[in-house]
Amino acid sequence: MYLRSGNTAAAIHTLKRALTQDPDHAQAHAMLAQCLLLDKRLHAAELEARIALSADPEMPLALYALGHISIARRRFAQAREHFEQLIALEPDDPTNHRALAQLEQLEGDPAAALAHLERARAADPEDATVLSDLADLACAQGDLSLARRHAEAALELAPGDADSLISMGKVLLREGSLEEAHHLVVSVLQVNPSHGGAIGLLAQIKARQSPVLGLWWRWNTWMHSLGDGRSIGVLLAGFFVYAVLSLATSDLGLQKTSELVDILWLLLVVYTWVGPVLFMRMIKKELGEVELSRDF
Amino acid sequence: MASAELGRRGGDGGGYRIADEPRAGGLVQLTVNPLWPLFAVMFGGAWLSWPWFVVNGWAMGSPTRVRETLFVVAAWVGSVLLLVALLVAGASLPEGGFKYLFLLHILYKLGVTYRLYVWQMRPFQLHQYYDGPVRNGVFMVIAGYLLGERLLLPAAAELGVFVKWVLQ
Is the model's pLDDT at A9 over the cut of 60? yes
Q: A153 CB contacts (<8 Å, ≥6 apart)?
A: A131
Last residue of a domain, one of A34, A64, A90: A90
Query: What percentage of chain B carries pLDDT values higher than 70?
Result: 91
> Looking at the partner chain, which of A44, A54, A232 has a beta carbon nearest the beta carbon of B20?
A44
Looking at residue B92, its pLDDT comes to 86
The answer as to whether B38 is a domain residue is yes
Distance from CA of B151 to the nearest CA of A (A): 27
d(C-alpha A13, C-alpha B15), whole Å: 10
Given a cut of 60, whether residue B3 has pLDDT beyond it is: no
Band (B156; pLDDT cuts 50, 70, 90): confident
- Mark yes or no for CB contact A20/B9 under 8 Å: yes
Instruction: Check whether B110 has a pLDDT greater than 90.
Output: yes
Residues in chain B, overall count:
168
What pLDDT shows up at residue B12?
Answer: 45
Residue B14's pLDDT band, with cuts at 50, 70 and 90, is low
- Residue A22 within a domain: yes
Highest mean pLDDT among A187-196, A207-216, A249-258, B156-165: A249-258
Is the predicted pLDDT of residue A213 greater than 90, yes or no? Answer: no
Inside any domain, residue B1: no
Q: Given this model, what pLDDT does residue A15 score?
A: 93
Q: Which residue has the higher pLDDT, B78 or B168?
A: B78
pLDDT tens-digit series, residues A23-34: 999 999 999 999
Q: Cβ contact (<8 Å) for A235 and B100?
A: no
CB-CB under 8 Å, B4 with A23: yes
- Count each helix (H run) and each strand (E run) in chain B, helices first: 7, 2
**CATH code for the domain of A73:** 1.25.40.10
pLDDT at position A296:
53
The pLDDT value recorded for residue B139 is 93
Mutation choice for B interface testing from A8, A40, A230, A240 by most B CBs within 10 A? A240
Closest chain B C-alpha to A268 CA, distance in angstroms: 17
For residue B8, pLDDT beyond 70? no
Residue B10 lies in a domain: no
Residue A196 is predicted with a pLDDT of 82
Q: Indicate if the pLDDT at residue B65 is higher than 60.
A: yes
Which stretches does DSSP call E strand in chain A? none
Residue A249 CB: number of other CB atoms within 10 A? 18
> Which candidate in A25, A39, A41 is best for mutational testing of the B interface (most B CBs within 10 A)?
A41
B139: domain range? Answer: 24-167
Are A17 and B6 within 8 A, CB to CB?
A: no
Segments of A56-163 assigned E as strands: none
Using the predicted structure, report yes or no on whether residue A292 has a pLDDT greater than 70. no
Can you tell me the mean pLDDT for A192-202?
85
A211 or B113, higher pLDDT: B113
Residues of chain B positioned with their CB less than 8 A from the CB of A48: 7, 18-19
The range of the structural domain enclosing residue A72 comes to 1-90
Cα–Cα distances (Å) from A211 to A145, A215, A216, B55, in that order, read: 26, 6, 9, 41
Q: State whether B4 and A228 contact (CB < 8 Å).
A: no
Q: Is the ipTM of this complex over 0.85?
A: no
Give pLDDT, residue B11: 42
Which one of B7, B99, B110 has the shortest CB-CB distance to A48? Answer: B7
Task: Provide the domain count of chain B.
Answer: 1
pLDDT of B6 > 50? The answer is no
Query: How many domains does the structure of chain A reveal?
Result: 2
Closest CA to A45 of B133, B76, B153, B6: B6
Tell whether B75 is covered by a domain. Answer: yes
- Per-residue pLDDT for A170 more than 90? yes
| HSE-CB of B108 using CA atoms within 13 angstroms | 20
Please tell me the distance in Å from A247's CA to the nearest CA on chain B: 8
Count other C-beta atoms under 10 Å from residue A36's C-beta. Answer: 27
Interchain CB distance below 8 Å, B6 and A47: yes
**B57 within domain boundaries:** yes
Cα(A125)–Cα(A93) distance, integer angstroms = 12
**Considering the domain boundaries, does residue A25 fall inside one?**
yes
Q: What is the pLDDT of residues B122-139, one digit of tens each?
A: 889 888 887 889 999 999
